[in-house]
C-alpha cells in the first residue's frame, strides 16, 4: 500500500456543484479533472467523508463517482480499507495512445478531404488561444485549450462521441502529458504541431494531415523513460 496522503491536503477546494444537476456525475468530473491535473497525486488516499465535506454532498454520490473512476483505472479501491489515486500505468497509457492515434489520423484526413474556411478559421482561433498561454505556467488553461482544439476536429468530422470515448480511456496518458508539459519548449511545440495540422487540412492534403497528427501524438510517449526517471513514485 502507498503512504496515506490525504486528498484535501493536495488539492484546492472545488467549485460549488450545480444544484440543478445530479451530484454523482459532477463529483466524478471534478475528481477526474483533479487527478488528471495531478492536483490529486498518484498514491493520495481519497477518504469518502472528507470528499463528501469538500463537495457538500452525502457519501453516496462520492461512492458512485469513485466506482466510476475505478472503472477508468484512475483510482484503486481496497474494500474496507482505502481508495487511492492510482499510479500511472504505462501499459494502459500505450493502449489509449494507440486508440487515439488510430482515430485522429482518420479525423484529420477526413477534414482535409473537404476543408471549409469556417473550420480552418475556428482551428486557427483556438491555436491563437493556446499560443497566448504557451509562455506562461497556467498549464490547466493550456490543456483546456488543447483539448478544445482536438474536440473541434472530432466535431467537424461528425464523430463527437469518439472524442468522449478517447477521453474516457486517456486518464493515464493525459497524466503523462501533464508531467511532460512543463519541459522546456514543450508547450510551444504543441502549438507548432497544431499549426502544421491546420496547414495540411487547409491545403486539402489528407496524407499530410495524417502525418502531422502522427508526429504530434508521438511527443510524450517518446519521453516515457525520462518521465519515469523524474517521477518514479508516480509511474508503474
Q: Could you give the domains of the chain?
A: 5-85 (1.10.10.10), 90-230 (1.20.120.530)
Q: Tens digit of pLDDT for each residue in 134-157?
A: 988 899 999 999 999 999 999 999
Query: Residue 78 — φ and ψ, nearest 5°?
Result: -105, 100
Mean pLDDT of the 29-58 span: 95
Mean pLDDT of the 78-94 span: 93
The pLDDT value recorded for residue 14 is 59
Confidence of residue 6 (pLDDT cuts 50, 70, 90): very low
pTM to 2 decimal places: 0.87
Q: Tens digit of pLDDT for each residue in 162-189?
A: 999 999 999 999 999 999 999 889 999 9
The pLDDT value recorded for residue 221 is 80
Instruction: Give 3-state DSSP helix, strand, coil % of the chain, rounded to 5.
Output: 65, 5, 30
Mean pLDDT of the 49-75 span: 95
Confidence of residue 5 (pLDDT cuts 50, 70, 90): very low
At 176, which helix (H) or strand (E)? helix 171-180
Mean pLDDT of the 63-90 span: 94
Closest CA to 150 of 103, 115, 185: 103
H-only helix segments in the chain: 23-36, 48-55, 59-71, 90-113, 117-133, 139-156, 160-169, 171-180, 186-202, 206-217, 224-230
Amino acid at each position: 500500500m502507498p503512504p496515506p496522503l490525504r486528498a484535501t491536503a493536495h488539492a484546492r477546494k472545488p467549485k460549488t456543484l450545480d444544484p440543478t444537476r445530479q451530484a454523482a456525475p459532477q463529483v466524478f468530473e471534478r475528481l477526474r479533472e483533479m487527478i488528471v491535473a495531478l492536483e490529486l497525486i498518484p498514491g493520495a488516499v481519497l477518504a469518502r467523508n472528507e470528499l463528501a465535506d469538500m463537495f457538500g454532498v452525502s457519501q453516496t454520490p462520492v461512492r458512485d463517482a469513485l466506482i466510476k473512476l475505478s472503472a477508468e483505472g484512475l483510482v484503486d479501491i481496497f474494500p474496507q480499507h482505502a481508495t487511492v489515486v492510482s499510479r500511472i500505468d504505462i501499459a494502459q497509457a500505450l493502449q489509449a495512445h494507440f486508440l487515439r492515434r488510430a482515430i485522429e489520423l482518420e479525423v484529420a484526413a477526413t477534414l482535409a478531404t473537404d476543408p471549409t474556411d469556417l473550420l480552418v478559421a475556428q482551428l486557427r482561433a483556438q491555436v491563437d488561444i493556446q499560443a497566448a498561454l504557451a509562455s506562461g505556467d497556467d498549464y490547466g488553461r493550456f490543456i483546456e485549450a488543447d483539448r478544445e482544439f482536438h474536440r473541434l476536429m472530432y466535431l467537424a468530422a461528425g464523430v463527437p462521441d469518439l472524442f468522449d470515448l478517447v477521453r474516457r480511456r486517456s486518464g493515464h496518458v493525459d497524466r503523462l502529458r501533464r508531467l511532460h508539459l512543463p519541459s522546456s519548449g514543450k508547450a510551444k511545440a504543441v502549438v507548432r504541431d497544431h499549426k502544421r495540422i491546420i496547414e495540411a487540412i487547409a491545403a486539402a492534403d489528407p496524407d499530410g494531415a495524417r502525418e502531422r497528427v502522427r508526429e504530434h501524438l508521438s511527443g510524450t510517449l517518446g519521453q516515457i523513460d525520462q518521465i519515469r526517471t523524474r517521477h518514479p513514485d508516480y509511474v508503474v
